[in-house]
Copies of this chain bind each other. A is one copy, B any other.
Amino acid sequence: MEAGFGDPAVARLVGWPARVARMVEVEAALGRALASAGVIPAEAAEAIGRACAAEDLDLDALSAEAASASTPVVPLVAALRSRGDELAAAWLHHGATSQDVVDTASALQTRDALDVITGRLEAVGDRCAELADAHRGTVSAGRTLGQQATPITFGLKAARWLGAFDRRIEQARWVRSRVLTVQLGGAAGTCAVYGAAGLAVAEALARELDLAVPDLPWHAERDRIVDLAGALAAIASTVGSVATDLVLLAQSEVGEVREARGAGPSSSAMPHKRNPTHAVAARAASRLALGELSVLIAAAGDHEHERAAGAWQAEWVALPSALARTAGALRRLEDSLRSLEVDADRASLNVDSQQGLTGSEGLAAALTPALGRPDAQALTGRLAASAAHQRRSLADVAAEDAQVTGVLDARALATALDPATALQLASALIDRALATHARTWRQEAP
């Protein structure tokens, strides 16, 4: 059931086969790092490399053994040893502990997943930018607490989404540079077996794998994982919020957007339905991602001593799943936005259908210099109530009111109620978001 809400690419990058491959890669790199730091002979590193190149690992057997051991590394190291010569067996995994291998492999997988997520953020952002630019003139109702408020443009709404996704990129980059960190501490985080060479080994391992070197091993300090979880939560919730807007805009009674689709019904009961399928899936994926992320955040506070008895192990499942679900939320949102048809006519009709009450802020503002804000607001409130009650337009009702006409002539009244008046700044705001987007992506990712 997970397939519709995840990201197949990320699921592949963070799944069990990839985990095993990454752990093997870490063992091989550790061999080379140990040799480069003079801890083991160069031939040992080569022998380890050959053992790690074996392609006949039985993933199912490893999975079963890992499930009953405390760690997947114990059976993996045994399997690799049986594939190597004596020299490889002698020095494989030298001085390392399971968590070194699991956490470093996890960092590599996280990097892969973040690459996909970053790409999806860019794609979603690009599409928002297109929509923002294309619809800078598409007047529609701004809505607060579900009520029409004042006019906006659909482009401005898309520009706000764009701004949020560009901020997400910025944060993803910040987190990436902090969370993609090698783990190497040995049994209790002292690099005990390497003697004085410990730092050199850690640095060499990091170079091999293109990861950062932390000040200290971080077996039990999982605040970096919370940083990552926070970044993913912000992405997932941003997706959720945009998808919610799409679902609301696609409602039958609003109809300002719809997802174009190919052949085939989207309901098993109702032939006429045009459900915003992708946006719905994006909302579901967002919720699912937040569930796994809550596991990571809660667990981070319970890492005991030098290695946790439960909180760490929960990460093994929750982190890959959270990455896949977050990417899935972006994927489905991207599908929704790419297929999006914006109905500018309907947007305009919707504004009109409310007796032009979205003009009330503008009318009150125009009356304010003469009447002061309290009286201007009170008068506009009365006019709006009349318009609503009589189902006539605010413009007509206002034009008949002596207090209004005493202050505003017909042209000034029309100007006050014209959405264009309220939207003088909208295009400039959109341009700010577009400029930030361009700047965000010109910048090289760290």
At the interface, yes or no: A143 with Cβ under 8 Å from chain B? yes
Chain B residues near A74: list those with CB within 8 A. Answer: 264-268
A376 to B109, CA, bound (A): 32
A292 to B291, CA, bound (A): 6
A416 to chain B: closest CB distance in Å? 10
A16 to B215, CA, bound (A): 42
Contact of A150 among B86, B190, B302, B394 (CB under 8 A): B190
Could you tell me if B268 and A433 are in contact, using CB atoms closer than 8 angstroms?
no
We find that the number of chain A residues with CB closer than 8 angstroms to chain B is: 190
Q: What sequence of 0s and 1s flags, for each residue 281-323 of chain A, a beta carbon within 8 Å of any chain B beta carbon? A: 1111111101111110111111111111111111011101000
Report the copy number of this chain in the oligomer.
4
Contact of A374 among B4, B89, B160, B190 (CB under 8 A): B89
Chain B residues near A402: list those with CB within 8 A. Answer: none
A268-B77, A310-B280 given; A305·B146 CB < 8 A: yes
Chain B residues near A240: list those with CB within 8 A. Answer: 300-302, 310
Which among A147, A238, A286 has the highest number of chain B CB atoms within 10 Å? Answer: A147
Q: Nearest CB to that of A77 among chain B residues? A: B268
Could you tell me if A248 and B146 are in contact, using CB atoms closer than 8 angstroms?
yes
At the interface, yes or no: A207 with Cβ under 8 Å from chain B? no
A231-B230, A305-B248, A318-B291 given; A192·B422 CB < 8 A: yes
Contact of A70 among B68, B164, B252, B267 (CB under 8 A): B267
- Between-chain CB contacts (< 8 Å), 23 pairs: A4-B313, A74-B268, A141-B252, A142-B188, A143-B306, A143-B307, A146-B248, A146-B275, A147-B252, A147-B273, A149-B267, A190-B426, A192-B365, A234-B300, A237-B301, A253-B350, A253-B353, A269-B361, A271-B380, A272-B385, A272-B394, A287-B295, A290-B294
